[in-house]
Structures are given as C-alpha cells and as structure tokens.
Amino acid sequence: MPGRRPLLAAAAAAAAWALLLPAGPAAARCEDWTPQPRPQNASRDVVGQSLDDIQARGWIDFAVYEAFPPWSWEEDGAPKGVDVELGRIIAADLGVEPRFTFVAAGETLDDDLRNHVWKGPVVNGRASNVMLHVPYDSDYACRVDQVVFAGRYFTETLAIAYAEAEYPDGGPVPAYFRFDPVAVENDSLADFHLSSIGNGALQGNIRRYASTPAAMEALARGEVKAAMGPLHELEWGLVPGLAVHSPPLPGLARGTWTLGVAVRQSWRPLGYAVDDAVRAAVEDGRLAAVFEAYGLSWTPPAD
C-alpha cells in the first residue's frame, strides 16, 4: 500500500459539517454574505501566472495532496494517482508540461486554498497554478471570493466496505455497528456520522485509524468487520473476500459531494481553459478510463 495521507481537512470543510446538519429553511444562495477583499498585493511569481505566461514558459504547476492514494502520491520519485493523471490531461490540452507540487492538508479548506491557490504560504513557497481534488459546494464557493472553483470531475460517496464472510446476506448498514466493530478514519465524515447515531450508541464499536487506507488494512486483517469512508478510498483497499456498497444513510443530509479544481480568481482565463479541458475528458471517456485503470468506479460530477 502506498504511503499514508494526513487527515484531509478539505473533505471535512466542504462535506463533514454541511452534510451532517439537517436541512433547514430554504434561503437564497449566500444572501447573508458580504463579499471579501480580493488581495492583489502579492507578486504573480508567488500567486501563479496567467494562461499566456504558462503557455509561454511551457509548464503548469498543480498542487496535489501528498500520500493520498488513490488520488496522489509519489512512488520511487514519480507522481502517481488519479489526480496526477488528470493534471497530465489538462496540461496536454493546454500544450504544456505538467509539474506537481505535493502539499500537506491544512487545518481547513480555507487554509489550503490560501496557501496553495490565491496567496501562497507565509514562508518558503508560492501558490500553484491549479489545485486538484477540491471539494465543491455552491454556498461555500460564493463565500471564497479569492478563488474560482472549476473543472468538476467526479462525485464521491460515503460507503461501507465489509468482509463478505461476516455478512453473507449482503452489506451492513450503520445499525449493525451496535454489535460489530467498524473502522473509520479519525475525525472524518464517517467518524462524525457514526458517532452521532443514537446519542453515541455506536461509540464502543468504532475503531479509529490515521487514514481510510489504514482502516481498510485493519479490515483485511480481520480486526474489524467493516470500514466506512469515501467509496473510492475503500475500493482502493479491496482485497479478495472484501466488498463495498453505498447503502442509504438516514440522518445524513447528503452522502455525496463533488470534486473539482481551484484557480486564483484573478486568472480567470486559465480557469476557463482548465474547465474546458476537464469537461472534455469527462465527456469523451478519458477520465472514466483513468478511474478504471486504477480499479475504481466513476460517477460523473453533479451539475
């Protein structure tokens, strides 16, 4: 199994809190939001370049999360993963070379976007031209004025992997975990959801691990009967005797979310070009082929 990833705050920011909250009264999108300042006081060498600059120099820099299989990791110094392949598709469409900057997840998605898209880190670094694997949420997007969210390329779903021998009649649902041990990534959406059921009734059977791949390894070793997390990360960890399904999850307002890319708001032509490249890969089947090559299912992005 490739290297471990840190707790990915990006997923929590766009999914965990919003998805766990029950639906409230309908309101106009961002009607209570005051637009934020759009800082322009950083050098473009720090915050990225325009599309013309990128094509003139011949390469584009993508920020991808480190040690984050099946999406992005390094193997013998070579970038691997679905997000890396998407970066190569975008670069080819723009006629430039792809380069990848592996970054650690921050405490929040706001931190990641500030450090890697629109401002750059406080010391020793610069923002990338494009950040991949950015959760998209309509309300959140209109609250971050410094970033353009584009290039939505797949839909992720919360799912449950399980040992087929333990559940011969089909996959478990959360109620089973009153009695059966289940593995989750610590402080993840799956952890939040299971911990909230029945005022903590499942707590005694929740086993927390540093990552979803680590939870899947525990399942493969027989330490637990099931593991819950994002579908594609569970699929990546499947071995013979394990299966995965996406059952209804009562009490969870929304169990799916869309992933896309982020570009600094001042480089909108670059954002449009990247969006066109991703859309073409979605429509002509190249992106589905990438997922298949990594042994993953693919669900088109929600509009």
Q: What digits encode the pLDDT tens for the residues 41-54?
A: 455 444 557 899 99
Residues 6+ apart with CB under 8 A from 26: none
Across residues 88-102, what is the average pLDDT?
A: 97
With cut-offs at 50, 70 and 90, classify the pLDDT of residue 173: very high
DSSP assignment string, 160-219: EEEETTT-TTS---GGGGGTS-EEEETTSHHHHHHHHGGGTTTGGGEEEESSHHHHHHHH
* pLDDT for residue 23: 45
Residues 6+ apart with CB under 8 A from 130: 60, 61, 62, 63, 87, 90, 261, 262, 263, 270, 274
Residue 18 has pLDDT above 60, yes or no: no
Residue 281's SS3 state is: helix
Sign (positive or negative) of CA dihedral 156, 158, 159, 161 = positive
Is residue 270 within 8 A of residue 90, CB to CB? The reply is: no
* pLDDT for residue 121: 81
Q: Which tokens belong to 223?
A: 């330490």
Is residue 185 within 8 A of residue 159, CB to CB? The reply is: no
Lowest mean pLDDT among 30-44, 88-102, 142-156, 266-280: 30-44
* pLDDT for residue 47: 52
Lowest mean pLDDT among 121-130, 206-215, 228-237, 284-293: 121-130
- The domains of the chain are located at 9-19+50-155+255-293, 157-245
With cut-offs at 50, 70 and 90, classify the pLDDT of residue 252: confident
| CATH (residue range 157-245) | 3.40.190.10
Across residues 235-251, what is the average pLDDT?
A: 95
Q: Note the pTM of the prediction, 2 decimals.
A: 0.86
First-last CA distance in the chain: 34
Q: What percent of the chain has pLDDT over 90?
A: 71
Equal CATH topology for 9-19+50-155+255-293 and 157-245:
yes
* pLDDT for residue 8: 43
- What CATH class does 9-19+50-155+255-293 carry? alpha beta
| Average pLDDT in the chain | 87
Q: Which residues pair with 65 in a beta bridge?
A: 103
* pLDDT for residue 37: 62
* pLDDT for residue 145: 85
With cut-offs at 50, 70 and 90, classify the pLDDT of residue 39: low
Sign (positive or negative) of CA dihedral 262, 266, 268, 270 = negative
pLDDT tens track for 192-229: 999 999 999 999 999 999 999 999 999 999 999 999 99
pLDDT tens track for 104-120: 988 889 999 999 999 88
